[in-house]
Chain A
Amino acid sequence: MANGGREALTPQAARSLVDSVDVFIFDCDGVIWKGDKLIEGVSEALHTLRSLGKKFVFVTNNSRKSRKQYAKKFSKLGMEINEDEIFTSSFAAAMYLKLNNFPTDKKVYVVGEEGIQEELKLVGYESIGGPEDGKKYIQLESNFFFDHDKSVGAVVVGLDQHFNYYKLQYATLCIRQNPGCLFIATNRDSTGNLTSLQEWPGAGCMVSAVSCSVEKEPVVVGKPSTFLMDFLLERFRIDVSRMCMVGDRLDTDILFGHNAGCKTLLVLSGVTTLPALLDPSNSIHPDSYANDMSHFVQLLSQ
């Protein structure tokens, strides 16, 4: 790892990387697609890697859709990916509750979108909140009392385009007043390429907003937390050093790779620019970097 990742991927290094890795873990936004548009050359790149006998999974912090909905998105973009090859932060939140024996007679308040609610439902949990509460407002007459469900045992916060004060206050009351109420964040990405033309505020906003009013830090289940890595290790039963995380964001994707102990490749097709990577204030260095997936794969045959 000469120069600590400040070197662009060379053809030789690319071949060496592919030889030493059996499983590629791909981030989605900024690596595979941007909004609803596939990034150029991705299909061919994945095809090449498959033909070399490589396996892959997709690990995304985007909690807006469930795994099933993501499989549909892949299909629409012309790629046949099975839903159990996809790991979303919405799935991670549901799994976290399940593995920690969250009781099914308790409810989950969701500051987030359908993806989270669907995944919770799949493991048998009842959720309230979600997009519906995006339509609710508070009335501040002098004797107005904001009530909340005392049976909420966990608040899950993720990206929420319907975020508003009502949901913020509801989540705040649950966490502050329901004894033992869990505060779970799907992820804390500051922004993301939710559409192809620009970046948008990420779950990091909603999570920070709630964290500030409850004066507590959440449990984070998405990258860079290695919670999801346990599922991947269980699935592939190979050494973590035979895996490579490919992502566009340093403080989630690459940090996830470092925390988990796998190899890391940064692509510049998403939120991170080359100047940002090379800036002296940046302390997170991938093993190497390439312009995008297509560039990475082209290097193999050079």
Chain B
Amino acid sequence: MLTSRVISPSFLPLSPPASTSSSSFSSLKTILSPFLAKTQLSYTRSSRMASSLTARAAAKKLENADELIDSVETFIFDCDGVIWKGDKLIEGVPETLDMLRSKGKRLVFVTNNSTKSRKQYGKKFETLGLSVNEEEIFASSFAAAAYLQSIDFPKDKKVYVIGEDGILKELELAGFQYLGGPTDGDKKIELKPGFLMEHDHNVGAVVVGFDRYFNYYKIQYGTLCIRENPGCLFIATNRDAVTHLTDAQEWAGGGSMVGAIRGSTQKEPLVVGKPSTFMMDYLSNKFGISKSQICMVGDRLDTDILFGQNGGCKTLLVLSGVTSLETLQSPDNSIQPDFYTSKIADFLSLKAATV
């Protein structure tokens, strides 16, 4: 089952380079543990790179839903803007998921939101009346822990977390020791003469994700670990510019926290969330499915659709989230999914004309 091939998923920074200064880019060559394909992977790239050299054709409006459904075995769904918006289920979702399951399709949910663990997301699905197993959920918090497992990150080393509870829970489940998290949000700095901030020299990785308790103490702690602990990894759960903490407005996303640490260390992180293909590689290996048998369904072009394209699977954009038809069709947009439709419930209503 092990094939050796070189996968170069393109990790794309979501914002232009941070400064004119000379940055040192850490490109990490990773050898994954045996249960994943034996390849050399680099999840770090410094510059924008198109996932294919040729321009893609403009996205087609989904007309024949059955044809798409029959052509794949697995659907990967983003959550915010596809399944739910804030705490509200999007119209027609339960029936659509039931229909896909009845057709024998595998369903997987991949979200860049790192604030909850898979278990906590499982509860959210349950509260909304959807029967989804926690094994079917892949949040970027889980991805960070899974990544550390895949590289055999030593259990005697620690992880410093700039992020929330979801990351802490997943690290704990995977058996890793951690420091930081929400409680460091209460720590203050006094820049007084003679003050020296100490840090644990045993920290071997800093994981950065969305953090509403972000502060200067954490920035310095993370910076000291990355700069001074030899070989310390800098891992980002995701780099989304905005996130949907509430339904009513957009909020500064995990990309900001990652940006801050990039700013102080002048290093590029290893990204485990979309559009990096780490999670796609992980689940295609875990479930033994080939990429051509997968369709990625999301509402965001520069994470969901790019994730699907980088991974080599089919892509469907839904307009029930952050992206409008205008944005998709704008000359400024270069990311074209295979198809687009208004919401996933269209799978139920769009049928091929019967001959």
Q: Are B262 and A160 in contact (CB under 8 A)?
A: no
* Residue from B22, B189, B265 within 8 A of A251 (CB atoms): B22
Q: Is B52 among interface residues, defined by CB-CB distance under 8 A?
A: no
| A-contact 0/1 string along B233-254, CB 8 Å cutoff | 0000001011001111111110
- Assuming the contacts A35-B193, A202-B264, A205-B260, asked whether A213 and B242 have C-beta atoms less than 8 A apart, the reply is yes
Q: Are B246 and A140 in contact (CB under 8 A)?
A: yes
Question: Once bound together, how far apart are the Cα atoms of A251 and B239, in whole Å?
Answer: 25
Q: Are B194 and A212 in contact (CB under 8 A)?
A: no
Smallest distance from the beta carbon of B47 to chain A beta carbons, Å? 16
Smallest distance from the beta carbon of B229 to chain A beta carbons, Å? 14
* Residue from A143, A163, A165 within 8 A of B219 (CB atoms): A163
Q: Are B214 and A215 in contact (CB under 8 A)?
A: no
- Assuming the contacts A202-B264, A212-B14, A282-B22, asked whether A163 and B241 have C-beta atoms less than 8 A apart, the reply is no
Chain B contact residue count (CB 8 A cutoff)? 53
Q: Is A283 among interface residues, defined by CB-CB distance under 8 A?
A: yes
Q: Are B258 and A212 in contact (CB under 8 A)?
A: yes
Q: Are B216 and A281 in contact (CB under 8 A)?
A: no
* Residue from B20, B216, B242, B264 within 8 A of A162 (CB atoms): B216
Q: Are B264 and A164 in contact (CB under 8 A)?
A: no
- Assuming the contacts A142-B247, A200-B220, A213-B242, asked whether A190 and B21 have C-beta atoms less than 8 A apart, the reply is yes
Complex interface: chain B residues within 8 A of A160 (CB)? 216
Complex interface: chain A residues within 8 A of B305 (CB)? none
Q: Are A204 and B252 in contact (CB under 8 A)?
A: no
List residues of A whose CB falls within 8 A of some B CB. Answer: 35-37, 137-138, 140, 142-146, 160-165, 168-169, 172-173, 176, 188, 190-191, 194-198, 200-202, 204-215, 217, 224, 250-252, 255, 281-284
List residues of B whose CB falls within 8 A of some A CB. Answer: 14-16, 18-22, 24, 86-87, 189, 191-197, 211-216, 219-220, 223-224, 239, 241-242, 245-253, 255-266
Additional A-B contact list (11), CB under 8 Å, known A142-B246, A195-B192: A37-B193, A140-B245, A145-B249, A161-B189, A164-B213, A165-B212, A168-B214, A190-B19, A201-B216, A205-B263, A205-B264
